[in-house]
Structure 1
Amino acid sequence: MRKIKILTGLCLLIGLTACAPGSEIQSGEPQGIEHKQPKVKELSAQERKEVLTKIDTGMVEAQNDFGLRLHQALSNNPEYPNGNLIISPYSITQALALAYNGTAGGTAAEMSDVLGWKGMSVADINGGNRQLRSLLENGGGVVLNVANSVWHRPGLKLKEAYVEAVKDSYGAEVRETDLKQEEAMNEINQWVNDKTSGMIPSIYNEPPGGVAVLINAIYFNGGWTDEFDPANTVDEEFTLSDGTTQKVPMMKREGRYSYKEGKSWQAIRIPYGDGRMHMLVILPKESSSMDKLHRQLWKDASVWKGDYSYETVQLALPKFKAEQSFELPDALKSLGMVKAFDTAEADFSEMAEQGDGFWIDHVTHRTIVDVSEKGTEAAAVTAVGITESAEPTEPIVMNVDRPFFFAIEDRDTGAWLFMGSVLKP
């Protein structure tokens, strides 16, 4: 059995300039690279229990809600009319948190409102993010590595409180480098390549310039608890949103899954590793549509959080690989984060002595998601449950042969690490 089952990687950048035109960001295309397998850190059951008691569930809910509002804003952008739309709410939130720690006044107020942190102290926000990261990165039978960094121009005096916050709460590396030079670009690209295990080998094709670049990178590697047999994968028709069809490789297996359905949708949780993380797939029924499902998700996603039953399901899931890049300023502005991008009103005075002249020049977000039958080496857990016997039932059929929504979710916290709509696998 080969070790890599799901490979995902992304990088999000925020560029700050001192009231001067910023350089354009261009994302390099990922190349075929053999991915290294980072070492998985493990927490004991007692340690996990202790960390869970410290998790602020309100912050997790705020992150997921922010992700869905951003998903909606991006879906309304004519630049992405009928394609896939996949983002990482967790990564975006972490990168914006690096920026938020440097803000004050109206800029801070707007960012906290958009991110769902209104009424919370900076210390509480940082503490909550620190605890959530500790829990997510440890165990579960998957690899999840999160990295942050702050790159700033020579001579820029970052405030001690800011440096302490990003290092202690976000594990950020703080580096001084001339952002106008090609050497700095190469250093940043190498950092991105290392932190995403080669999935995103570079982010800049030219030096970024500006006064600072704040980067978050996240790498996820998880194998299905029960893998799909490649021998069962066949090319079948997938119906697109416009009613046309295309052939896609469809993976198939029958097994016991957490399953739920409503009048207009089916939902399934496909576990990774020891089951702590899973892929949530929500499929509109043939009588419904992705447009209707989107409206339900954007209005209230809580219906998909609990009350799943354990059912036998005949599952067909398309293999798919999605790579996307987004520029997020317009979408963030539409959500109410305006001042941070305004040369006259942005206030980053908590970042550096001259920070009241800084503003956000660009926010670039990139994702890569690759789904296949391949799996990791796995162990088994045996549990003896005592229940009343029931008459055997026919397995539920769930054929994901049309556009669907998915989220990679942490079971214990409910955090959505990735989410997206797959309209064309």
Structure 2
Amino acid sequence: MKKFIVPIIVMIIFAGVIVSVIGKNQESPGFIINAAFNKDDYQTIISANNQLGFDILPESEPNKDGNIFISPTSLLIALSMAFNGADGITKEEMAKVLHKEGIESEQLNKANASLMSMLLNNSKHSRLEIANSIWLNNQLQFQDDFDQNVRDYYNAEIQEVDINSSRTPEIINNWVEKATNGRIPKIVDEEINPDTAAFLINAIYFKGDWMHEFDPKHTKKRIFHLGDGTTKEQPLMTLHEKLAYMENEDFQAVILPYAGEKMSMYVFLPKEGSSLEEFRKRLTNDNWEKWKAEFNEKDGTVLLPKFQLEYDAEWSKALVKLGMTTAFDDEKAVFTKMVKGTKGSVWIDKVKQKTFINVDEQGSEAAGATSVKMDTKAAPMDSPFQMEINRPFFITITNNETGTILFLGSISKP
């Protein structure tokens, strides 16, 4: 019996480059959801999305600089599309990893459609775009329900391609490059396994201005302390402003809002004597919600690194470790609801993610590490805070209205 593999390619682009005028509030152009759902359906998957990020973070390999930058939302959307093709034990395992045990495809689809409709609301100063595509081996056919669901709920662009053609990688990579505004020019290798059934691709692109811009005149090179005890020079941007701030005996944290107040960056800086690794061990949904409730508006100074980085992840082993075992097993995977006539011989080969992040004075995504040595007691809330991000730190990019963590990163060397 011939077997077919389904590489799920999750592409993320977080571009924080300078933003010009984008236009009036509008959903991402060309993104149309042709399915019925309730506006608040997204609420059923927010905690699942965030916990998925906290689960996959420790299973992600750092890049050569020790950095990790991922999007749980992009992973959730891509796996949700694949979920429509799963059945039996494979479906059960996928639901468990997604923290939605017992959920049916229709419920998950409605929740994703609701979430994407909430997120895709652009403004003059910020832009978030989501694009989904599926590239099907032209020797195969999708099951009718799978085809309809991914088109209607995920606005997925479905194209049949000749897997054996030398032009196919170029065609897919051109779509990728366009969907990511040129930031990711290549995701598919030049040679594709001839047994590939389909590529499932999700791309997220964000670009935004800070609500409170950093003055470039105050950006200076300073010492950044690396985890191994060495140091490097790093441009740090300076902002004096009233911001949402919190501090406890383990870390300082500040919220940097983007213009329009739809999106914010949370920056967490472990205190001297603690570490980024210790902070990451405490990352759970319960702690995340607890910390969010402890922020208070306060005058202060933030010194944030100006940097750019790229990150690649391959999560097949990570997802198996989290419990999604049969989906990657060519003998046990059950994706009978995805492709016609394969009798269960379709399985997932790879789950891949690429990210790009750029942080500058006018906006984007950032993580900086600089903190003044402080007492173990929380600083009085009536005195200005100072947060110099000059050592490894943690960031999230969060949608304020829904509470969705779209991106999260562990930054050891900006």
So what's the TM-score if we normalise by structure 2? 0.85
Change (3 A) 1:20 1:412: closer
Change (3 A) 1:305 1:243: same
* 1:360 aligns with one of 348, 360, 366: 348
Cα RMSD of the aligned pairs, angstroms, is 2.7
- Give the 5 Å matches for 1:327-346: 327-346=314-333
The residue number in structure 2 matching 1:309 is 296
Change (3 A) 1:288 1:193: same
* 2:309 aligns with one of 304, 318, 322: 322
Using the alignment, how far apart are the partners of 2:336 and 2:21 within structure 1? Answer: 40
1:256 aligns with 2:242: yes
Shift of 1:305: 2.5
Unaligned runs of 5+ in 2: 12-16, 28-36, 365-379
Change (3 A) 1:274 1:18: farther
Output one character per residue of 1:366-424: Cα deviation in whole Å (capped at 9) or x when no partner. Answer: 11111111349xxxxxxxxxxxxxx9944210111110000000111111111010000
- Give the 5 Å matches for 1:1-400: 19=3, 41-42=25-26, 54-74=40-60, 77=61, 83-139=66-122, 141-209=125-193, 210-298=196-284, 300-355=287-342, 356-375=344-363, 393-400=382-389
Using the alignment, how far apart are the partners of 1:137 and 1:242 within structure 2? Answer: 41
Change (3 A) 1:18 1:311: farther
Using the alignment, how far apart are the partners of 2:174 and 2:19 within structure 1? Answer: 15
Using the alignment, how far apart are the partners of 2:153 and 2:301 within structure 1? Answer: 44
1:409 aligns with 2:398: yes
Paired residue total: 379
Change (3 A) 1:147 1:318: same
Shift of 1:255: 0.3
What amino acid is the match of 2:205?
Y
CA contact (8 A) 2:315 2:351 kept: yes
Shift of 1:21: 7.9
Using the alignment, how far apart are the partners of 1:38 and 1:114 within structure 2? Answer: 37
What amino acid is the match of 2:204?
I
CA contact (8 A) 1:40 1:138 kept: no
Using the alignment, how far apart are the partners of 1:334 and 1:82 within structure 2? Answer: 25
Secondary structure of 2:282's counterpart equals helix
Change (3 A) 1:38 1:160: farther
Using the alignment, how far apart are the partners of 1:60 and 1:171 within structure 2? Answer: 20
Change (3 A) 1:397 1:18: farther
Using the alignment, how far apart are the partners of 1:67 and 1:392 within structure 2? Answer: 31
Change (3 A) 1:38 1:181: farther
Shift of 1:253: 1.2
Using the alignment, how far apart are the partners of 1:120 and 1:341 within structure 2? Answer: 21
Shift of 1:110: 0.4
What amino acid is the match of 1:214?
L
Using the alignment, how far apart are the partners of 2:187 and 2:222 within structure 1? Answer: 35
Shift of 1:117: 1.4
Output one character per residue of 1:23-61: Cα deviation in whole Å (capped at 9) or x when no partner. Answer: 9x9x9xxxxx99998666437xxxxxxx99514423111
Using the alignment, how far apart are the partners of 1:18 and 1:167 within structure 2? Answer: 27
Using the alignment, how far apart are the partners of 2:382 and 2:283 within structure 1? Answer: 31
Output one character per residue of 1:210-264: Cα deviation in whole Å (capped at 9) or x when no partner. Answer: 1111100110001101111111000000111112111100000100111111111
So what's the TM-score if we normalise by structure 1? 0.83
Using the alignment, how far apart are the partners of 2:277 and 2:361 within structure 1? Answer: 29
Using the alignment, how far apart are the partners of 1:206 and 1:332 within structure 2? Answer: 26
Identity %: 35
What amino acid is the match of 2:106?
A
Output one character per residue of 1:331-380: Cα deviation in whole Å (capped at 9) or x when no partner. Answer: 1111011100000000110012234110011111111111111349xxxx
Change (3 A) 1:160 1:370: same
What amino acid is the match of 1:149?
S
CA contact (8 A) 2:85 2:335 kept: yes
Using the alignment, how far apart are the partners of 2:114 and 2:386 within structure 1? Answer: 39
Output one character per residue of 1:301-327: Cα deviation in whole Å (capped at 9) or x when no partner. Answer: 322322321111101000121101111
Secondary structure of 2:45's counterpart equals helix
Secondary structure of 1:227's counterpart equals coil
Change (3 A) 1:411 1:400: same
CA contact (8 A) 1:34 1:198 kept: no
What amino acid is the match of 1:151?
W
Using the alignment, how far apart are the partners of 1:18 and 1:268 within structure 2? Answer: 54
